[in-house]
Amino acid sequence: MRCPFCQFPCTKVVDTRDNDKGTSVRRRRVCQRCRRKFTTVESTQLLVCKKNGCFEPFNEGKIANGLIKACKGRPVAYKEVLRIAQEVGDRIRSTGTGQISSRDIGLAVLEPLKRLDGVAYLRFASVYENFDSPEDFKRAAIELKNAK
């Protein structure tokens, strides 16, 4: 790590602390030449592999937006949508993997959404389970009804 003041390439870590539920590390450093102190923050980056093969940083807000669309017109509280998005995001981050597919994220949303609202679940599932026909909806609705 280069010193931001004198650009000397050797610095020493004098203190390390975890931040944000362990997703980042704050390090206090001192330059070996000018002796000035500075702070760095290091974090891991979870990447999402999209259907087209491109990668983008994980964004919990996209989960919430998908849930909001699925729950449109349903008697579902906004705070419940945010709770599910947080729950799924935490579960995905806890795997420790650096990459996840967008499909896996969608599938991870299905179970908590099923418990929240059946109609929203069917809407969401129709995208992530690739429903091709009305029979797919019928089958999923029967499974949902039998699960309760």
| pLDDT score for 148 | 63
pTM of full prediction above 0.75: no
Q: Cα–Cα distance between 147 and 10 in angstroms, integer?
A: 60
Residues 6+ apart with CB under 8 A from 78: 68
User: Which regions of the chain are under pLDDT 50?
Assistant: none
| pLDDT score for 18 | 87
Residues 38-77 pLDDT 10s: 999 988 788 999 989 999 999 999 999 999 999 999 999 9
| pLDDT score for 59 | 93
Sketch the domain layout of the chain as residue ranges: 11-43, 47-147
| pLDDT score for 129 | 79
CA dihedral 88, 84, 67, 46 (to 10 degrees): -20
| pLDDT score for 94 | 82
